[in-house]
Amino acid sequence: MQNKGSNYFYDQKIRIGGIAPQTVSKTTTEKPDIQFFPEGGELVNGVRSRIAVKCTGTNGLGEDIKGTIQDNTGNVVADFASQHLGMGTFALIPEAGKTYKAIVTLPGESKYSIDLPKAKAEGYTLTINNNEADSIYLKITTNEQTLIRDKDKTFYIIAQSNGKVYYTTGQTGKPQLYGQNRKEKISNRHHPIHPVRSKWKSCSRTDRIYPK
C-alpha cells in the first residue's frame, strides 16, 4: 500500500475498554403534590378554620414549602411554612363573596398557584384539642346564618374509624346548639381512636355532626 501513495492510506480510531458513555438529558414536567385540608372537612364563611398543608415531592417524600394565601382581590390574608416532612398549618377566616388561593414557593424558588377549597355559606367546623392525656375536646363552630337555621335543634356527634363507630353523643345525652360554638369533652374510654398526641393536630374527618 505504501508503494501506491498516500491515497491508499486511511485512519480509524478504535476505543479500547468498552463503549463510550452517552449522556442523555432528561426533562421532567412532573409537579409536586400539594394539598390543603380544612380541619373538619369544610370551610365556612365567617368561621375561623385551621387548615393543614402537605407537599409530597416527585420522589414521593415530603418537601419543605412556604407561601402566602391571597383573596380574589390580591390581598394577602395569611402565610404558612412547612414544619416537618412537608407539612404545616395555618388559620383562615373566609369571607362571603371571596375566593382564596395559595401562592406556594418550593426550594429553588419554583412557584405554584393553587385554589383553596371554596367556603360554604352555611355549615359547621370541627376542631380537636388533644392536649389532655385522658380525653379530647371537640369544638363545634358555625356562623350566624346556620345558627338561625338550626337553632335549638338537637345534634349528634359520631366518631368513627374505618367504618366502625366508637362514640356517639347518645352516650352522654343529646346536646343542642344555643350559640355559635360549643365544646364537647370525650373521654378516651369512649373514644379509643386516640389522635396523635403531638404538636400536630388531627385534620382528618373522624368526627361528624348531624343536626336534626
**DSSP for 45-81, written as a single string:** TTS-EEEEEEEE-TTSSB---EEEEEETTS-EEEEEE
8 A C-beta contact, residue 82 and residue 53: yes
Instruction: Give me the CATH number covering residue 81.
Output: 2.60.40.1930
pLDDT value at residue 197: 34
Q: Do 197 and 128 reside in the same domain of the chain?
A: yes
By C-alpha distance, which of 69, 87, 67 is closest to 78?
69
8 A C-beta contact, residue 156 and residue 177: no
Report the DSSP beta bridge partners of residue 115.
101
Q: Is 104 domain-assigned?
A: yes
Q: Is 71 domain-assigned?
A: yes
Q: Do 111 and 129 reside in the same domain of the chain?
A: no
128 pLDDT more than 80: yes
12 pLDDT more than 70: no
Rounded distance, CA 88 to CA 50, Å? 10
Task: DSSP letter for 86, please.
Answer: T
Q: Do 110 and 132 reside in the same domain of the chain?
A: no
Q: Do 80 and 146 reside in the same domain of the chain?
A: no
Q: Do 146 and 105 reside in the same domain of the chain?
A: no
pLDDT digits (tens, 9 = 90+) for 65-124: 999 999 999 999 999 999 999 999 999 999 999 999 999 998 877 888 999 999 999 998
203 pLDDT more than 60: no
Q: Is 158 domain-assigned?
A: yes
8 A C-beta contact, residue 130 and residue 195: yes
pLDDT digits (tens, 9 = 90+) for 61-74: 999 999 999 999 99
Q: How many domains does the chain divide into?
A: 2
Domain boundary among 54, 85, 115: 115
22 pLDDT more than 90: no
Task: DSSP letter for 132, please.
Answer: S
Q: Do 97 and 130 reside in the same domain of the chain?
A: no
Domain boundary among 61, 85, 115: 115
Q: Do 129 and 188 reside in the same domain of the chain?
A: yes
- pLDDT bin (cut points 50, 70, 90) of residue 187 is confident
Q: Over the chain, what is the mean pLDDT?
A: 77
Q: Do 140 and 176 reside in the same domain of the chain?
A: yes
Considering 21-35, 76-90, 119-133, 160-174, the range whose residues carry the highest mean pLDDT is 76-90
Instruction: Give the domain range for residue 163.
Output: 124-211
What single-letter amino acid sits at 203?
Answer: C
Cell 393543614 found at: 52
pLDDT value at residue 10: 62
What is the average pLDDT across 184-194?
62
Q: Do 42 and 111 reside in the same domain of the chain?
A: yes
By C-alpha distance, which of 47, 29, 51, 41 is closest to 101?
51
- pLDDT bin (cut points 50, 70, 90) of residue 29 is low
What is the average pLDDT across 52-58?
92
**β pairing state of 124-129 and 135-142:** antiparallel
Q: Do 200 and 133 reside in the same domain of the chain?
A: yes
Q: Do 203 and 129 reside in the same domain of the chain?
A: yes
Domain boundary among 115, 143, 158: 115
Burial (CB count within 10 angstroms: exposed 0-12, middle 13-18, buried 19+), residue 172: middle
pLDDT value at residue 201: 34
Q: Do 193 and 153 reside in the same domain of the chain?
A: yes
* H helical segments located in the chain: 144-150
